[in-house]
Amino acid sequence: MPLLNWLIYFPVEWLCSFMTDTLITINQEDYAFAQKKMKNHFNITNAVINGEEQPTVNARELWAALGVGRDFSNWIKDRLMDFEEGSDYLFAKIG
């Protein structure tokens, strides 16, 4: 099945990559490929939160990778407006 999945999805992903200026990946293999081929790339990683593995993203790094023309604080407030902290997203200090 992995070969079949690759044969189906890779050509579509490859064609779509010409229509975007930033590529967001979810695994190390795709991220390594993106580093070689794309100027802007961003990886979603997994972290253990409350004993459960969750996909995570550093919002400030995502904002930078997307090249948003607005300041970060206003951009993130607008993105999170319709979500509930604690169930839809968490804030974590890094460093």
Q: What digits encode the pLDDT tens for the residues 3-49?
A: 887 788 878 877 877 777 777 777 778 778 777 777 777 778 888 88
Q: Is 41 helix (H, G, I), strand (E, B) or coil?
A: strand
| Cα separation, 84 vs 34, whole angstroms | 32
Is 0.95 surpassed by the pTM of this model?
no
Q: Is 31 helix (H, G, I), strand (E, B) or coil?
A: helix
